[in-house]
Structure 1
Amino acid sequence: ALALAAAALVVAVAFAGPPGADANLAPWALYVTFWVGLVPAGVLLGPVWRRVNPLRTLHAALCRATRTPPAGRRALPARLGYWPAAAWLTGFVWLELVAPHRSDPRLVGTLVLAYAAANLALAWWFGRDWFTRGDGFEAYASLLARMCPIGRRPDGTLVLRTPLTGLMTGAAEPGLTATACVLIGSTGFDGITRTTYWRDNVDPSSVPAGTLGLAAAIGAVAALYVAALRLSARLTGQDPAALPARFAATLLPIALGYTLAHYFSFFVLEGQTTVILASDPFGTGWNLLGSTGNRIDYDLTGPTLTAQVQVNAIVLGHIAGTIAAHDLALRGPGPAARGQLPIAAVMVALTCAGLFALLSG
């Protein structure tokens, strides 16, 4: 109920609040607090967004109003897997990184309503299971939650576990590779756009250049990963078509590392704006939280701390991904050590590329 109320407030402020992006709560709540905040929430606390997703609340009410079973009118095809989530996430990162006027509060409000309507209609037809892999944000949060150190045994008991335990199922889930590559490629592209090379040679307002750059970054990550896994399959005598999907979950630590590297200071510093604006959401002079008129405290994280988090997040993310892939390989057929050589080479290449983009900013 609180999550639904917060979402409704953000939409209301988007349309009825101040027209400028700097003074309107909606863009900050969507791009900073929600999008980036899903990462620590999932990794530290587990799949909490699945529990509080306001779309699930609206879906339950819609089903009661239309006397439709929550399981929907038609079974969700298993072959879809995470492909819908990958498509939604691609659209969102394009909006965040490329689209013009993306911070316009009225545009933000319209897109939030359109996204909600589309997913509610699909969930009404396919059932509430749609949100698990079809809702891009819930799928994103739940995938990162696999690395939460808190888990559940089959009997439901909460237990502590190593963060990579949730990646060890080895289940080949359709679309999971694409989803992970979108997360890695988009954050990598975000880093590229901050380099001096990009700023000196590309018009930052060019939508075609940004779109092609984003597509190239995602495509490069996907091509490197699939090529490495196919070569690994040949070295170990396994099915080249099945191996990339089986190891897709091991890309999640890399996606987490890239996200922390690129959004840590952004979340800690710019995230304060959400709290400041929430104190007077409609710009009427309220001071609900006692933060109206406050300014961002840039002393919360300095350049040294930011650099340490960025470098370590990228390096440790790749190390964790390599460990998870090696552990998973040991559980399968074939000579595991030899088969891991292509994956290790790709991990080293991606680490170097990530650090290069970071240090060139």
Structure 2
Amino acid sequence: MGTDGITLAHGIGGAKDLPISPELAIAGATAALVVSFTVLAVAWRTPRYDAATSGRPAPAWLATVVDSVWWRALWRSVGMLVALFMAMAAIFGKDLVINPALGIFYVWWWVGLVPLSLVAGPVWKAISPGRTINLALARISGGDPERGLLTYPERLGHWPAALGLFAFVWMELVYPYSTELGPVRLWCAVYVAAMLVGGAVFGNTFFERADPFEVYSTLVSRMSVWGRRGDLLVVRSPLANLDTTPVRPGLLAVTAVLFGSTAFDSFKDSTRWVQFVQGSSVSAYVLNNLALLAFCVTVGLVFAVGCMLTGLGDDLRRRDLPNLFAHSVVPIIAGYIIAHYLSYFVEVGQLTLIQASDPFSTGANWFGTADLTVSYWLSLHPTLLADIKVLAVVAGHVLGVVAAHDRAIKILPRRHQLTGQLPLLFAMIAFTVGGLYLLFAA
């Protein structure tokens, strides 16, 4: 990764910053999952999470601030200002890799949603320019932003969000001109148009279920301590909060795209894949397209099969199980994204802040950040970086096993509560081994 802008090469940085044994890391992670499952089987025999009762009310002063009109207006204004700044840089700035619009798009927006949502809750819902514009149009026309012309079809669920997320990762990881401003402008224009039309037709329900970034942010925020019980702001354990994830069609597809695309991002820079692409008669573009799709589909299939290979009660259908357990993939996604993008986010995020002071590449210093320098402290401490990455992957999978276990003993008949989890445990182990292998192989 260069220091003069965003390049196509990003992510975990490869084996050079992982100075620990991959065999030891994989063996230890597998052991951690097996031990965790064994402990859960012995000590966790009744469901512990209930959306209707879990959590304690947040401090009254905090709830008053968060639910106030001025607080919501403040964050909507922040979202609109950043969006307008990005649009200004993208439209009027030079088509150079140092244009801050690219860093805002790929680093602050895409990667930054994860840490922000883990810390502060569903950030994109609070700052979404689409929601803000939809609210303004509703006020002007005298309508209700919560209600559109039609009712959002339940069968669509999160499928539009899954397609939107795939469109983004395709743009980032496969499209050969992803760092040119023209394609980025077009992608953003199509996204904004889709959000405005969807909001007008289906109201705010469309953003909640079909906006790829709101669905992404809200899913990750289920691992934060902030939740809602009705309209009440509550503080919950992250796993109790995760258990409140609504089960909708397309939920597994969303998690498969997020996890599969991150895994592909590691894989596409591995020596074996690069050598295969260079020696193939098929173009790299076609191969990368097929590989990205294969990674997402494989993640979804492996998880779905692991969920469906269990005994059922009379009130369950086998095809419903993957979406019922899909929430347990969220900790894995969060852990793997932290492992994959940590140094990229910290270092290129700083670079974007520096570039933001000069949006038109004229030597300006609008915000006083142009003279700052990027700190490569993390990259200069490779052992610490390696430990954080491996721990993030392992912790994500262990938390996923806990979430799946609690759901299993809640919905499966007693005779299948443990044996029925074994196929899903094997799927989790496969994800762990594959994730760590890619972490070291890139």
Query: Residue deviations 1:58-103, cap 9 Å, x none?
Result: 1112223445442110111111111110010011001110001101
In structure 2, C-alpha distance between the alignment counterparts of 1:118 and 1:336, rounded to whole Å? 43
Q: Which moved more, 1:79-88 or 1:192-201?
A: 192-201
Aligned-residue offset at 1:155? 5.4
Aligned-residue offset at 1:48? 2.1
Residues 222 and 245 of structure 2 are in contact (CA less than 8 Å); yes or no, is this contact kept in structure 1?
no
In structure 1, C-alpha distance between the alignment counterparts of 2:109 and 2:245, rounded to whole Å? 29
In structure 1, C-alpha distance between the alignment counterparts of 2:314 and 2:397, rounded to whole Å? 23
Q: Which moved more, 1:250-259 or 1:292-301?
A: 292-301
**In the alignment, which residue of structure 2 is the partner of 1:89?**
165
1:284 aligns with one of 362, 369, 377: 362
1:309 aligns with 2:388: yes
**In the alignment, which residue of structure 2 is the partner of 1:328?**
407
After superposition, residues 156-235 of structure 1 pair within 5 angstroms as 156-159=232-235, 161-169=236-244, 171-203=246-278, 206-233=284-311
In structure 2, C-alpha distance between the alignment counterparts of 1:75 and 1:121, rounded to whole Å? 14
Query: Residue deviations 1:112-141, cap 9 Å, x none?
Result: 122101110111111121100111001100
Relative CO higher for 1 or 2, CA cutoff 8 Å, sep ≥ 6?
2
Give the 3-state SS of the residue equivalent to 1:349 in structure 2: helix
Where structure 2 has 5 or more consecutive residues not aligned to the other structure, the ranges are 1-76
After superposition, residues 1-361 of structure 1 pair within 5 angstroms as 1-21=77-97, 23-70=98-145, 71-154=147-230, 156-159=232-235, 161-169=236-244, 171-203=246-278, 206-233=284-311, 238-301=316-379, 302-334=381-413, 335-361=416-442
Aligned-residue offset at 1:243? 1.0
In structure 2, C-alpha distance between the alignment counterparts of 1:53 and 1:152, rounded to whole Å? 19
In structure 2, C-alpha distance between the alignment counterparts of 1:134 and 1:216, rounded to whole Å? 23
Residues 123 and 131 of structure 1 are in contact (CA less than 8 Å); yes or no, is this contact kept in structure 2?
yes
Q: Letter of the aligned partner of 2:422 in structure 1?
A: L
The TM-score normalised by the length of structure 1 is 0.94
Aligned-residue offset at 1:9? 1.1
Q: Letter of the aligned partner of 1:304 in structure 2?
A: T
Fraction of identical pairs, as percent:
39
In structure 2, C-alpha distance between the alignment counterparts of 1:219 and 1:236, rounded to whole Å? 29
Instruction: Say which one has the larger Rg.
Output: 2
Q: Letter of the aligned partner of 1:195 in structure 2?
A: S
Aligned positions, number: 359
Give the 3-state SS of the residue equivalent to 2:178 in structure 1: coil
Residues 59 and 120 of structure 1 are in contact (CA less than 8 Å); yes or no, is this contact kept in structure 2?
yes
In structure 2, C-alpha distance between the alignment counterparts of 1:54 and 1:122, rounded to whole Å? 14
Give the 3-state SS of the residue equivalent to 2:227 in structure 1: strand
Where structure 1 has 5 or more consecutive residues not aligned to the other structure, the ranges are none
In structure 2, C-alpha distance between the alignment counterparts of 1:36 and 1:77, rounded to whole Å? 30
Alpha carbons of structure 1 residues 170 and 36: separation in structure 2 relative to 1, 3 Å: closer
Q: CA RMSD in A?
A: 2.0
Residues 47 and 145 of structure 1 are in contact (CA less than 8 Å); yes or no, is this contact kept in structure 2?
yes
Q: Letter of the aligned partner of 1:208 in structure 2?
A: V
Give the 3-state SS of the residue equivalent to 1:151 in structure 2: strand
Q: Which moved more, 1:191-200 or 1:342-351?
A: 191-200
Alpha carbons of structure 1 residues 72 and 188: separation in structure 2 relative to 1, 3 Å: same
Aligned-residue offset at 1:29? 0.6
Residues 38 and 141 of structure 1 are in contact (CA less than 8 Å); yes or no, is this contact kept in structure 2?
yes
In structure 2, C-alpha distance between the alignment counterparts of 1:233 and 1:96, rounded to whole Å? 41
Alpha carbons of structure 1 residues 37 and 344: separation in structure 2 relative to 1, 3 Å: same
Alpha carbons of structure 1 residues 235 and 63: separation in structure 2 relative to 1, 3 Å: closer
Residues 219 and 245 of structure 2 are in contact (CA less than 8 Å); yes or no, is this contact kept in structure 1?
no
**In the alignment, which residue of structure 1 is the partner of 2:71?**
none
